Structure 1
Amino acid sequence: MKKAILFVAAAVALTTSACQNFKKGDGGLEYKIVDDKASEKAVAGDLLSVDMTIKTDRDSLLNSTYDLGLPQIVNIAPDSIPGLYPGDYNSMFKLLGEGDSAVFKLNVDTMAARTGQPKLEFADHYVTFTIKVRKHFKRGQLTDSALYAQVNKYFEGEIEKLKTGEDVKVADYVKTKKLEPKKTASGLQYIVTAEGKGEKPAIGDTVVVNYTGTLLATGKVFDTNNPELAKKNNIFNAQRPYEPIRFSIGNDPVIQGWTEGIQLLNKGSKATLIIPSKLGYAERGGGGMIPPYAPLVFEVELVDIVKGKGLAAPQLAPQAAPGIAPQAAPQVAPAK
């Protein structure tokens, strides 16, 4: 978690330090080189591994690689490709190499005029990219297969870092929040924040649950059945119902952390579930918003229990159906 905080702080620092003295480039592009460490800059055919945030001039965050804890690979395209122009997205990265960092303001009026596409509705004049280059993959005389073999090996290492760092993230989270959770044999941790007075659900019962899910490392909300909270966190989906979720324990496929955690609660209880990735989305991640090996935090409320008749046949193993990806409807579970 500390690493994620440092990454975000670095992005903020880059933006703050670069808020003045922008240089003017082609096509209305404005830029500020914050760190100029690379002796070689990217050229067509190269790839860059970058940490990047993208914001509009209305101060709305469009995307951040820090949320996933993984860098983005950018392919530097030749200028001859139709649709590219001086001062576009591709142009920015040609000013950078390994270890460099910079802030770019991409002019949306120029983009619309040069590409013939409608002007972006979510920005007035520009979109801001705050970029730090982790690694520069130089094509040189390499074949495509040799170049991408390097990238794949690099990404395997980055994912391994997520895997080995998970326990530290969870421990730091618990310590920072000053929590005293109970821990089960599976590794699930939970805190009952409001004790209900009803009975606990069992396998085969249908439960009705309010929930909000966040990434433990960054605190980013990736799913909720609360429409106002969804709007606040820019994940609102008008096509889905915002109501308590219903699923049959042991029958409807949900992540294992839910199958176990909800059974620990009395009807009417509210709780925080700290779910390690092995009880969540594991090495797969989920929906483009949950990275591999990501521990999750769910605030849940067990609204109701409808008694069931045990397991349906055949039973679904939790590992076979970990839950659906976020941003579907309903989003966390169960899968349809």
Structure 2
Amino acid sequence: MKLFSICKTLSLFVFTCISFSVFAQFEEEFKEYKGLRYQFYEGNSRSLITDSSIIQVQMKVFNSVDSLLQQTYQEEIPTLINLRDSNNIKMPLVEIIIKGQIGDSLTVYTQSDSIYQGSIAIARPPFIPKGSWIRQEFRIVRGYNTEEYEEVQQQIQKIQMRRQQEYMEKMQEEQAEIQRQSDSITKLQVEYIENTFFVEKGIKEYKKTESGLFYTVDKQGKQNIEEGDKVRVHYKGTLLKTGEKFDSSYDRGEPIELPIGVGQVIKGWDEGIPLIGRGGKGTLYIPSDLGYGARGSSNVIPPNAILVFSVEVIDDNVKGETEIEQNSSEKESKTYRVNDSQEDYIENVFFIQNRITDYKKTTSGLFYRIEKQGTPIKKGEKLRVHYEGITLMSGEKFDSSFDRDKPIEITIGENHFIDGWDEGIPLIGKGGKGYLYIPSHLGYGERGAGGAIKPNSILVFKVEILEN
């Protein structure tokens, strides 16, 4: 178990790797170092800090109106700084801390605008306004020898394992509750379609599947569509409740081409298109659990919407290039266990439930899907990125540059944004589009980000990397 990196350990509010240039008026006794303003207060019992020390600090963080934002005094896991690590001792905050001694206290002022920049700007909470300062109060608690350090590392490992188990149990409970709610909504929607909507519309020649999909056939096509086969489909999609049209290939004058049965379309299509058949025409009535569920789709399809699709399956006999993996049945039968990681959950629960198969995984645990492959991106290259971020478990959107109609500018390889972006954006490439599925250790970790992103959140980003 390696020692925590100081940038990860001292919270979102202490990005000490950044140099700051904005100053406020401070009392004369405050000193300045690399943009930070600080003052030491000597303790009663002091001992020297050496280059080989491993020290523990306690911290409180306040905003410009002295509201307490964070404190480590009640945390189970101690905040440790390993001065044997050359990367740590190069950080401005650490360079300041080692000017003192064990037992001392320290006040540090940091300009908030220098923290919330780049992709981190989206996490700025309203209680830290632009131009304000953040005050950090530190106490250098103690030093650790090698034996003491090994002992505390074992304790930390046990705490983390317990927290991971508690978190996974909570995830399971939330997923089970989501499924219960989905089942309840589905039951009501199925009853409404059959006993109210169809009766009011005088629709009698319909069929119903075990999943709750309803369909009518105007012209029966050839039912020879197999999993992985590509089909071309003309369609018009409307909301059953309002009759409002949200999409139509007829309006564009061109059918869409897609593989069936491999999770690239909603479940209602994967099941319904083969029932209509190649060369057939009909209508699909799709409950929300077979459509876009509780998340909806952007601003076009509301959460839990029942969808109606008029479809025409073009009579082309094109076999798909997409083949189902031989072990897909094994994946689907795998049950999710409490001690599985977030990576297991994404791959073996979320992807299976949402029938997502066209994903890739990196050694770090990042998952990604590419809708359009872009060109290579070099380290240090500046990019403009449009994105929409949601939390995987709730499906809630926490930020979107699309809503603001303004992409953000980032520089690859400068660690100004989360690790999942630093790794994932180059995989999609300049000019590319895709999705990043980011476990919390590659996102905002145990602390989350303000009130928008909860601790240990798995994040999903839809990204579009602009050409220029």
Larger radius of gyration: 2
Which has the higher relative contact order, 1 or 2, with Cα contacts under 8 A spaced 6 or more apart?
1
User: Do both share a fold (TM > 0.5)?
Assistant: no
Bin for the TM-score computed over the shorter chain: 0.3 to 0.5
Report the TM-score, using the length of structure 2 for normalisation.
0.30
